[in-house]
Structure 1
Amino acid sequence: MTKVFALANQKGGVGKTTTAVNLGIGLVKEGKKVLLVDADAQGNLTDSLGYREPDSIPVSLATLLVKTMMEESYDSQEGILQHQEGVALIPGNIELSAVEVSLVNTMSRETILRSYIDQVKSDYDYVLIDCMPSLGMLTINALAAADSVIIPVQAHYLPAKGMAQLLQTIARVRRQINPKLALDGVLLTMVDSRTNFAKDIAHVLRHEYGDKLRVFQDEIPLSIRAAETSAKGKSIYAHDPNGQAAKAYMAFTKEVQRIGSERRQTRQHQAEHGR
């Protein structure tokens, strides 16, 4: 059964796209089939995987969402690109900005992305949606399509107000559109372990939100090598396989799988006992 993740945070520059790339390729290394979906008009995920001109790609997520809105037929493999490290990609580009505007007047506007993903997800074990840094209609669509949300948070910036907004949006989507939506947790990124400040923020985040949501045990260290991967068009595993960031992302990938496995076992147990 395919698991769909949304990686969301309305603040930019928190390592969201880098996390999408390295979680996706980490899952491939674990033997899984993975589709990455670039749901950001800036096309950062597409660019990070080496497709340097996202706006010139003939078929993108925008193309396929328009076809879904217009109820036009398309092949399930249409527009899907294959990266050399084994992940598949639905590219995003500036055309998504126009799609987001047109979604406002579309019937079932919150579930257009879900309709598309339902058409293609059977070929994959995991679908990862890289959301734009906003709480607009495309992010709502991503949350409506997802089984779980992962929130990357930069460790040297305390996003209390922003986190509260995002958690409210997730709760509203769960209430009104997607009751099965789970919040897998917060991933601390760009952690500079040499400073007490980063440790303090990690502590405060766990203290403030630890009872409401999981803060992943694995943290992603501040790494120049990780920052370089976008320019190289490859994952941290290919760019710096023995570095701390690669080890951290692999540990995080295993933690994500473990949480999913525990959740499935809990659901199975509840079903067997009629609860």
Structure 2
Amino acid sequence: MGKIIAIANQKGGVGKTTTSVNLAASLGVLEKKVLLIDADPQANATSGLGIDVESVEIGTYQILEHTAKPEEAIIKTESPNLDILPAHIDLVAIEIELVDQDEREYMLRKVIRDIAASYDYVIIDCAPSLGLLTLNALTAADSVIIPIQCEYFALEGLGKLLNTIKSVQRIHNKDLDIEGLLLTMYDQRLRLSNQVVDEVKKHFEAMVFDTIIQRNVRLSEAPSYGESIINYDAASKGASNYLSLAHELIKKNS
């Protein structure tokens, strides 16, 4: 069965969707079969792979509602070996609709465990919150990657996320691992960036990925063209960083 990895951090703007899209595309280029699940109502992973969000009729919302099967929602992307289960703004309603349901934390797990068998990796792009959607993703996942931006408030809120992961491990998913902490938006010219790298590595040691995602203009431009960095500019620093991360992930799981 494919490994299910949630990309989570309740802080916005840390590079979650950038990582979800570009790690998934990089794994695909390395000949792994990948499914990207957009579990964020902002649907940026969906639009970032060139899919018109308004045209999405069946997506994560319908899957969690059990009004459609994942197979009906999955779309093949233009990126090699990469499929996506898209999202739409209507996903925002799911937190309210699930709140009275039994086993509401297990809705995503129930639907994707079967389909994961068809893939090498399933990547879940989580919403920037610790609500029911993110809880569903963590309950469904085998592991979690936590992006941390190399900026002043980098570690703020990380304790809260780690506590949430601990409680998910205790109550809903005892097998959930932390795949690693990923340093993003690194600018080697800034002393602050280097201080954050040192601090995170000092606190978390082996939990931190060797690969660091550097600030890169091409990486910021790619989503507006509806392309992963691999498709948009394979020679860029951003593409090289995410391919390095994909290699590191494959090696870690081989």
Summarize deviations over 1:124-147 as a string: whole Å, max 9, x none. Answer: 111000000000001000000000
Quick check: 1:11 aligned with 2:5?
no
Summarize deviations over 1:178-204 as a string: whole Å, max 9, x none. Answer: 011000111111100111211111001
Contact 2:42 2:88 (8 Å CA) reproduced: yes
Write the distance in 1 (CA, Å) between the matches of 2:199 and 2:29: 33
1:214-225 equivalences in 2 (<5 Å): 214-225=207-218
Aligned residues: 253
Query: Partner of 2:74 in structure 1?
Result: 80
Query: Partner of 1:251 in structure 2?
Result: 244
What displacement does 1:96 show?
Answer: 1.2
Contact 1:158 1:201 (8 Å CA) reproduced: no
Write the distance in 1 (CA, Å) between the matches of 2:70 and 2:91: 19
Write the distance in 2 (CA, Å) between the matches of 1:76 and 1:6: 17
Tell me the secondary structure at the aligned position of residue 149 of structure 1: strand
Task: Write 1 or 2 for the structure with the bigger share of strand.
Answer: 2
Query: Partner of 1:57 in structure 2?
Result: 56
Relative to the length of structure 1, the TM-score reads 0.89
| Structure 1 residues without counterparts, runs of 5 or longer | 262-275
Tell me the secondary structure at the aligned position of residue 73 of structure 2: coil
What displacement does 1:76 show?
Answer: 4.6
| Backbone CA RMSD of aligned residues | 1.3
Write the distance in 2 (CA, Å) between the matches of 1:37 and 1:221: 25
1:80 is matched by which residue type in structure 2?
I
Quick check: 1:235 aligned with 2:228?
yes
Query: Partner of 1:166 in structure 2?
Result: 161
* Percent identity of paired positions between Structure 1 and Structure 2: 41
Contact 2:108 2:136 (8 Å CA) reproduced: yes
Query: Partner of 2:27 in structure 1?
Result: 27
Write the distance in 1 (CA, Å) between the matches of 2:62 and 2:182: 31
Contact 1:55 1:95 (8 Å CA) reproduced: no
> Which has more radius of gyration?
1
Write the distance in 2 (CA, Å) between the matches of 1:160 and 1:249: 22
| Structure 2 residues without counterparts, runs of 5 or longer | none
Tell me the secondary structure at the aligned position of residue 37 of structure 1: strand
What displacement does 1:56 show?
Answer: 3.6
1:1-275 equivalences in 2 (<5 Å): 1-52=1-52, 54-67=53-66, 74-86=68-80, 87-210=82-205, 214-261=207-254
Write the distance in 2 (CA, Å) between the matches of 1:179 and 1:40: 24
Contact 2:4 2:143 (8 Å CA) reproduced: yes
Write the distance in 2 (CA, Å) between the matches of 1:120 and 1:32: 15
Write the distance in 2 (CA, Å) between the matches of 1:76 and 1:23: 21
- Following TM superposition, the consecutive aligned residue runs of length 4 or more in structure 1 with deviations greater than 4 angstroms are none
Tell me the secondary structure at the aligned position of residue 78 of structure 1: helix
Write the distance in 2 (CA, Å) between the matches of 1:90 and 1:119: 14
Q: Could you say if the C-alpha distance between residues 157 and 117 of structure 1 is closer, same or farther in structure 2, counting changes exceeding 3 Å?
A: farther
